[in-house]
Amino acid sequence: MTVKPIAASLLLTLGLTLTACSSVSVPPPGGFQPPNASYNEQWRPKLHYTPQRNWMNDPNGMVYLNGEYHLFYQYNPQGIKWGHMSWGHAVSRDLIHWEELPIAIPEAPDIAIFSGSVVYDRNNTSGFGTTANPPLVALFTGWNKSNNNQSQYAAYSLDQGRTWTRYGTAPVLDIGSTESRDPKVFWHAATSKWIMVFARATDHKVAIYGSTNLKNWTYLSDFGPLGAGTAPGQLWEVPDLVQLPIDGNTANQKWALLLSINGGTLWGGSGMQYFLGNFNGVTFTPDPLPAVNEPGGVLYQDFEGSTYGSWTVTGNAFGAGPAQGTLPDQQVVTGYRGSRLVNTFLNGDSTTGTLTSPDFVIGKPYISFLIGGGNHPGETAFNLIVDGKVVRSATGQNEELLRWNAFDVTALQGKTARLQIVDTHTGQWGHINIDQIVFSDNAFTENDNRVLWADFGRDFYAASTFDNHPTGDKVWIGWMSNWQYAEKVPTYPWRSAMTLPRKLTLKTTPDGIRLHQEPVAALTTQHAASLKFTNLPLSQMRQNLTAAGVRGKTLEVLLEVDTTGPGSIGLKMHTSAFEETVLQYNPITQKLSLDHQKSGDSSFDPGLSEVHVATLRNTGTLKLRVVLDTSSIEVFAQDGKLVFTDLLLSSPSSDGFELYSSSGDPLVKNLEVYELKTIWNP
């Protein structure tokens, strides 16, 4: 593959071309008043913030002051796609009900206003206000439309965020880069200074700077590359650095670096990872990443021989035997085991062919394997063939790192099968890397390894925390979409919603210390009709639910269920004769899965009909909290240790939820169901 020119990478991410930015008209000073929308449009969220109309992406500058929570955000005042980036604005007194205000910081003739943060400068260190009336100070990225430079600018407000004055026309920090953005600033009491973290997107680094007045910034250190999103073409964006108590003990705290990445995520497109570690006022030192586990089971093929042995080769992409790592002109290949792997970059991307195993009988429920290379379903693929048909298939993620993946073949045990590695793609990323095929008892996927994912869904991005939260809690809000398809989501006249505000904590778990997230307590003010049952067998709970006739699109479900039996337990949500979204826990494989194959509209991107799977250790009791809105689902499992955030575009007639178990009648310790009132028409 060839590496994309750096200056164009953000635009490519956004699906834009450079020419799209040539002519700019500026919204009128004093802001823009959107017309009233009905808030009853199909898929208009009833509990999540959306602007009345037009395009929105990252939340920006979240800050609390004098009874108000401010939410600023990337906003296009002129259309329903990305462009004319300005800071939209909404305020809330409880983090649940929002009032949309006029645009806070409009696009300027010289620069577009990209993501950033706001701090409450209570001691007027900046001198922008007075001791009696300290300022709110915004630090944001200005994207210079004439030369693509991205540098950090300041603006301030002395009237509760209603109007903003830019601090001169020059940036406060310019490192001469076209890929440095998204400053997040906080006060570091231990060293009495402001700290700014921002992303050096294509270098896969977070830059850390310090200041005593928010105007003059001094370089302190860099963090990265580490974890996911570090391959060429992938981006690091919107970092945040927060200190959180462990298990509620404020005397025992740890730092978390929260990071958005575009590319190299679990399900494609954009997503979020985090790092735990220590910050000493200068450097963030990460703790070791979680260990790479290997799947237990029978090793079927490790491709360590100098020939393919009994496997059959066609075409010219495979050569006489497994490759010894990276091939000429290839980016560095990593993640394979031993010294050889299958690597079809032989003589570049243009070569093609197949490599087919002998027949074998499927004896274990999973086939685990390491896969890397091109993302071309069916064309750079690893296939399982039964009765001459491809019954399972996987592809790479356009990166040379091999990651674990697995086929669930439980239903195919006893069948005769073959594995086939296919490379028919001749363009960019026209190759596939495969290694270490293991017949295993458990699904084994990369999700378990190396990376701490903040969210196991597809639609959680650019989240950052509130400054000056009244109780000191760390609360964040994310953008509930994915750059892979954000501009195609079929909502009108607005596009994109924010997630629910979520409180962040750290808790000790059997896997180590992990980030936990739960919706802020004020969500309960939206509870309407409710049901609560305790300590009944699941079959009885089902009957109670049927008798109560639980329906509706906007629901909160709390479930606590015994998982010591072998059967899978789950919820079917937004159901109708033709649609359902299934959340299921399998206590044997210890996997929680969210199945979107029949969820609703996925016409604009196949990603909308995927099954998302994550490992969740079986502790004998599964605790789920699910918040369903008209067009989204947020799942908080085990007190928010594992979160899925996904768009869910079900049809108007699909609603409600059902409980089920695949076998046995497990004890449901607690079931609470709440209808949720809309936040728009109280």
Q: Which residues are catalytic?
A: 58
Q: Which of residues 2-21 bind ligand FRU (CB under 6 A)?
A: 10
Q: Which of 44, 181, 474, 516 binds ligand FRU (CB under 6 A)?
A: 181
Site string for ligand FRU, 108-147 (x = CB under 6 A): ------xx-------------------------x------
Residues 291-330 that bind ligand FRU (CB under 6 A): none
Residue 1 DSSP symbol = -
> Can you tell me the distance from the alpha carbon of 585 to that of 594, in angstroms, rounded to the nearest whole number?
9
Site membership for ligand FRU, residue 240 (CB under 6 A): no
Whose Cβ is closer to ligand FRU: residue 74's or residue 599's? 74
- φ, ψ of residue 440 to 5 degrees: the values are -130, 165
Minimum CB distance to ligand FRU, residue 164 (Å): 17
Amino acid at 382: F
Of 205, 229, 232, residue with least CA distance to 219? 205
Kindly state the smallest distance separating residue 113's Cβ from ligand FRU, in Å: 9
List 71, 238, 541, 555, residue binding ligand FRU (CB under 6 A): 238
182 belongs to the binding site for ligand FRU (CB under 6 A): yes
Question: Residue 217 corresponds to which tokens in the numbers above?
Answer: 């910034």
* Of 10 and 627, CB closest to ligand FRU: 10
With CB under 6 A as the contact rule, the residue among 237, 446, 459, 629 that binds ligand FRU is 237
Closest among 223, 235, 247 to 179, alpha carbons compared: 235
The site string for ligand FRU over 141-160 (x = CB under 6 A, - otherwise) reads x-------------------
Closer to ligand FRU at the Cβ: 141 or 638?
141
Distance between CA atoms of residues 516 and 212, nearest Å: 32
Number of residues in contact with ligand FRU, rule: CB under 6 A?
Answer: 13
Nearer to ligand FRU, 217 or 461 (CB): 461
Residue 267: which H helix or E strand, with range? none
Distance (Å, whole) CA 353 – CA 321 = 13
Say how far apart CA 180 and CA 320 lie, in whole Å. Answer: 45
**Following DSSP, what letter does each residue of 178-206 receive, concatenated?**
SSEEEEEEEEEGGGTEEEEEEEEGGGTEE
- The residue among 56 and 523 lying less far from ligand FRU, judged by its C-beta, is 56
Considering beta carbons, is residue 58 or 423 the nearer one to ligand FRU?
A: 58
How far apart (Å, rounded) are the C-alpha atoms in residues 165 and 570? 52
The nearest distance, CB 528 to ligand FRU, in angstroms, is 34
Among 259, 454, 462, 626, binds ligand FRU (CB under 6 A): 462
Nearest-approach distance from CB 246 to ligand FRU, in angstroms: 30
Query: Are residues 175 and 197 in contact, defined by beta-carbon separation less than 8 angstroms?
Result: no
Distance CA 218, CA 260 (A): 24
Q: How far is the CB of 65 from ligand FRU (least distance, A)?
A: 23
Q: Is 148 helix (H, G, I), strand (E, B) or coil?
A: coil
Minimum Å gap between C-beta 627 and ligand FRU is 23
> Per CB under 6 A, which of residues 55..94 are in contact with ligand FRU?
57-58, 74, 85
Query: How many Å apart are CA 660 and CA 473, to the nearest integer?
Result: 37
From CA 202, how far away is CA 178, in angstroms rounded?
9
Provide, rounded to whole angstroms, the least separation between the CB of residue 238 and ligand FRU.
6
For the bound state, the minimum distance from the C-beta of residue 420 to ligand FRU, rounded and expressed in Å, comes to 38
Min dist. Cβ of residue 343 to ligand FRU (A) = 33
Q: Looking at residues 36 to 55 of the shown chain, list those that interact with ligand FRU (rule: CB under 6 A).
A: none
Tokens of 30: 């004093």
Q: What are phi and psi of 487, to 5 degrees?
A: -80, -5
Query: Is there binding between residue 207 and ligand FRU (CB under 6 A)?
Result: no
CA angle 155–156–158, rounded 5-degree value: 160
Which CB, 181 or 572, lies closer to ligand FRU?
A: 181
CB of 314 to ligand FRU, least distance (A): 43
Class of residue 568 by CB neighbours under 10 A (exposed 0-12, middle 13-18, buried 19+): buried
Neighbours of 32 (CB within 10 A): 15
Nearer to ligand FRU, 9 or 405 (CB): 9
Contact between residue 227 and residue 273 where contact means Cβ atoms under 8 Å apart: yes
Asked whether the beta carbons of 345 and 330 are under 8 A apart, the reply is: yes
x-marked contacts with ligand FRU along 573-612 as a string, rule CB under 6 A:
----------------------------------------
Nearer to ligand FRU, 237 or 349 (CB): 237
Which CB sits closer to ligand FRU, 352 or 632?
632
613 and 593 Cβ atoms separated by less than 8 Å: yes
Following CA atoms 269, 274, 275, 279 in sequence, which dihedral angle do they give, to the nearest 10 degrees? 120
Gap between the Cα atoms of 496 and 73, Å rounded: 11
Interface residue list for ligand FRU (CB under 6 A) = 10, 57-58, 74, 85, 114-115, 141, 181-182, 237-238, 462
